[in-house]
């Protein structure tokens, strides 16, 4: 349902602003949005909405799907700009949007046309995400939009922190700073936002909404750490990790640095400090991280965070039926993440 509405919303936009000069670029955007993804945010929102307001969920299905589509559009907006900032070549095993647009802009167009269009297309998706909410018949739609924008501020400042941490020396970056960045940049809009928006529609009290946020926080952090681990393992098995190529200060890298001995620590610091790193340099960084056994430590942290999530779900501030539903939802999401 969300995939169908994504295509309809974008098709409507491209038809409204039809221009021969834009046809190739619109095709790239539509292809990008059609790519299969986990759709974690829409899934969380729709299942939570049914849990919190089962009697109304069928009646409001089209409206709820519209909000869920808005969450996926917001996610696409974040990814598109993030890939451009990181100069990432791929997204979901295919060229990132700015690379697709750059390919289509060759032949007389200025070199930055593709990147410039990417910025604007991302902004348009952000505007469309908001319209998906405000154009519904949901009575609390203005409250939903205001809360959504709160999470957008979090995400933006998380991105700023990611950029600044990336420029700093690993010896001066703390795990606390990285966790704060993870929470703002990814965790809140991925887990907390869908649950809280569904809770607002379902008429949950402020106390219940705060507890939903407490449930989402450790789960969101675990999600990001697990993503880092999968990215690293994928790099070790099949080449090079994008995180290492970009010199990102991940919690895995910070943990590895802290666990290594003085000589290895100095080597890792020197490799990260280089303006450009060869494939050999990147493989040596991989070996140092493996040597530190930071992967096993971070895997244990993920399990601890999911246990914290389960404890937060069992709070007396949440009704028993909500507790049961959230436990089931958490298991669904964990399976989805692990099999992707």
In tens, the pLDDT along 212-246 reads 999 999 999 999 999 999 989 888 877 667 788 88
Q: Residue 301 and residue 226: Cα distance in Å, rounded?
A: 10
- Neighbour count for residue 182 (Cβ, 10 Å): 24
Query: Where is the domain boundary, 102, 137, 172?
Result: 137
- Same domain membership, residue 204 and residue 108: no
Residue 110 has what pLDDT? 64
- Same domain membership, residue 338 and residue 231: yes
Is 131 or 335 the better-scoring residue by pLDDT?
Answer: 131
Question: Measured between alpha carbons, how far is residue 166 from residues 124, 173, 187, 254, 277 in Å?
Answer: 28, 9, 19, 12, 15
> Which residues have CB under 8 Å from 297's CB, separation 6+?
255, 259
- Looking at the domain assignment, is residue 172 inside a domain? yes
For residue 68, give its domain range: 1-34+61-137
- Looking at the domain assignment, is residue 318 inside a domain? yes
- Same domain membership, residue 152 and residue 24: no
What's the total number of domains in the chain? 2
Residue 91, classed as helix, strand or coil, is strand
For residue 95, the surrounding DSSP H or E stretch is strand 94-95
pLDDT digit string, tens, across residues 40-76: 999 999 999 999 987 666 678 999 999 999 999 999 9
> Which residues have CB under 8 Å from 223's CB, separation 6+?
186, 187, 190, 191, 337
Question: Residue 335 maps to which CATH number?
Answer: 1.10.600.10
- Looking at the domain assignment, is residue 81 inside a domain? yes
Query: Where is the domain boundary, 137, 172, 191?
Result: 137
14 has a pLDDT exceeding 80: no
- Same domain membership, residue 126 and residue 179: no
Q: Is the model's pTM score more than 0.85? A: yes
- Looking at the domain assignment, is residue 55 inside a domain? no
- Looking at the domain assignment, is residue 41 inside a domain? no
pLDDT digit string, tens, across residues 119-142: 999 999 999 999 999 999 999 999
Residue 195 has what pLDDT? 97
The dihedral sign for the CA sequence 321, 327, 331, 334: positive
- Specify the length of the chain in residues: 340
- Looking at the domain assignment, is residue 40 inside a domain? no
Confidence of residue 274 (pLDDT cuts 50, 70, 90): confident
What backbone phi and psi angles, to 5 degrees, belong to 95?
-55, 140
Residue for token pair 């349902």: 1
Query: Where is the domain boundary, 137, 157, 174?
Result: 137
């Amino acid at each position: 349902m969300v995939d169908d509405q994504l295509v309809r919303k974008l098709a409507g936009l491209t038809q409204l602003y039809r221009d021969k000069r834009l046809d190739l670029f619109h095709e790239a955007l539509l292809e990008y949005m059609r790519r299969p993804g986990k759709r974690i945010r829409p899934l969380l929102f729709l299942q939570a909405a049914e849990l919190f307001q089962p009697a109304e969920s069928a009646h409001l299905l089209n409206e709820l799907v519209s909000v869920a589509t808005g969450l996926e559009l917001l996610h696409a907006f974040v990814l598109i700009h993030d890939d451009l900032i990181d100069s990432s070549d791929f997204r979901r095993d295919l060229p990132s949007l700015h690379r697709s647009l750059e390919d289509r802009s060759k032949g007389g167009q200025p070199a930055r046309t593709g990147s410039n269009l990417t910025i604007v297309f991302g902004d348009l998706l952000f505007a469309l995400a908001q319209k998906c909410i405000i154009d519904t018949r949901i009575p609390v739609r203005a409250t939903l939009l205001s809360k959504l924008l709160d999470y957008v501020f979090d995400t933006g400042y998380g991105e700023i922190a990611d950029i600044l941490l990336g420029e700093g020396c690993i010896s001066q970056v703390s795990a606390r700073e990285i966790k704060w960045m993870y929470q703002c940049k990814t965790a809140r809009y991925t887990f907390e936002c869908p649950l809280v928006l569904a809770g607002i529609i379902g008429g949950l009290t402020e106390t219940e909404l705060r507890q939903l946020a407490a449930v989402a926080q450790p789960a969101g952090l675990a999600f990001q750490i697990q993503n880092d681990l999968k990215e690293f393992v994928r790099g070790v098995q099949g080449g090079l990790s994008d995180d290492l190529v970009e010199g990102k200060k991940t919690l895995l890298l910070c943990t590895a640095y802290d666990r290594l001995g003085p000589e290895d620590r100095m080597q890792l610091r020197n490799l990260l400090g280089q303006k450009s790193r060869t494939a050999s340099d990147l493989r040596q960084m991989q070996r140092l991280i493996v040597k530190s056994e930071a992967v096993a430590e971070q895997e244990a942290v993920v399990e601890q965070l999911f246990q914290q999530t389960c404890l937060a779900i069992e709070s007396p501030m949440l009704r028993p039926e909500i507790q049961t539903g959230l436990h089931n939802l958490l298991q669904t999401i964990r399976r989805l993440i692990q099999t992707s």
